[in-house]
Structure 1
Amino acid sequence: MSTTVKMNLEKDVFRIRGERLVHVLQLASLSKDDPENYICTSVTSENDVCITWLRIREEQSIINYERKHTWLLKELALIDGVDAFRDNAIFDLHFENDIYTLEAYSTASKYAFLRCIREMSEEYLQRDLQWRNFDHDFVGNSNSFLVIDDIMLSLRLCIEAISFGCLFSCF
């Protein structure tokens, strides 16, 4: 997602309503004729966190913004990644009475959205967001991902380096 799109959304849609745009998730399009769809996370002047499904259509160089849905973060009961063991961009947003199945532009952007929503929930609602079916290694708050195969490879290389050093010192 380009920075220009985010800046335009901030200026044309959110700042006008007194909201601060925090994160933008581009949704996958089924065809080129479909309008662009985004899930946006914003904070109001009253410190309410909003999740907005925004549809953008461009007709004859005029850009039309349509708010398809707007929810408060406190209404979000669960975010479901559908399948933690497959590389997919599909996820479900479970609100009090409705479930929305969405597809992000990429799996990485789906995880970035989840991390953003979790941080917003911790900061503004002082509670952890309910989530399931995401790979826990990529959801954590740290920037380093611990993968057991990488750790074992590093350990093996260290042992071989020490062994080589000992062998070399014998000569």
Structure 2
Amino acid sequence: MSSLVKEDLEKKLFKPLSQNLYEFIEIEFSVQDRYYLCVSVFFCLTVTKNEEVKIIMVKHYRIGLDEKYEVTKKWSLNDLQMIDGKEADTDNPFFDLHFKKVYSLEAYSCASKYAFARTVNKLNHAYLKKDLQIVNFDSTYINDDSIWSSNNKDCLVLMRICFYAFNLVCLSLCPLPL
């Protein structure tokens, strides 16, 4: 389903604006409507052909059978000071984006929160190379140079949980010393 939403977002919202959609996550923002947090690269057609990375909040709604998307907030990655994952040791979907103002958000899942942070980190290194603080995240899952990094990064958190569960099962099968 998420690939269909991404394709629809690209076709209806980003391609007409000459933007490439890199990542999006569903966030809890309103009870009635769906919201997505998107990361895109906007190609400014200037003499130097600068590439500016944007973080965009998109509202999704339906009118009849038509899917509609509306940009509700837009920030430049250059203005992002910090992403706070709020408790790296727990499986929670909450995080803060620190611009001039702090925006508290809830991702659809912990895995999508990590996917978003990884993409922002990757695009920061590729385009800005600025000192962006990413705190209260397990750095194993954020950095591309880690041994857990792969093309299907959404499964990383699940792999780690399965590893821990396997260890617990093995420990439970071992007899306790008297």
TM-score (norm 2): 0.75
Aligned counterpart in structure 1 of residue 124 of structure 2, from 106, 121, 126: 121
Which residue pairs with 1:45 in the alignment?
A: 43
Q: Which residues in structure 2 correspond to 1:17-166 (within 5 Å)?
A: 17-28=17-28, 31=31, 34-46=32-44, 47-96=51-100, 98-142=101-145, 144-145=147-148
Quote the Cα distance in structure 1 between the aligned partners of 2:123 and 2:139: 18
Which residue pairs with 1:8 in the alignment?
A: 8
Task: Write the letter of the residue equivalent to 2:147.
Answer: S
On the 8 A contact 2:85/2:136 being kept in 1, the answer is yes
State the Cα RMSD in Å. 2.2
SS at match of 1:85: coil
On the 8 A contact 2:29/2:105 being kept in 1, the answer is no
Q: Deviation at 1:112? A: 0.8
Structure 1 segments (4+ residues) deviating >2 Å? 28-31, 142-147
Quote the Cα distance in structure 2 between the aligned partners of 1:14 and 1:131: 26
On the 8 A contact 1:79/1:91 being kept in 2, the answer is yes
Quote the Cα distance in structure 2 between the aligned partners of 1:112 and 1:64: 24
SS at match of 2:147: coil
Instruction: Answer with 1 or 2: which has the greater Rg.
Output: 1
Quote the Cα distance in structure 2 between the aligned partners of 1:137 and 1:126: 20
Quote the Cα distance in structure 2 between the aligned partners of 1:71 and 1:30: 20
SS at match of 2:143: coil
Which residue pairs with 2:157 in the alignment?
A: none
Question: How many pairs align?
Answer: 147
Which residue pairs with 2:174 in the alignment?
A: none
Range with greater deviation from structure 2 (59-68 or 16-25) = 59-68
Identical pairs, percent? 35
Quote the Cα distance in structure 2 between the aligned partners of 1:68 and 1:30: 13
On the 8 A contact 2:23/2:38 being kept in 1, the answer is yes
In the alignment, structure 2 segments of 5+ residues that lack a partner are: 45-50, 150-159, 168-178
In the alignment, structure 1 segments of 5+ residues that lack a partner are: 154-171
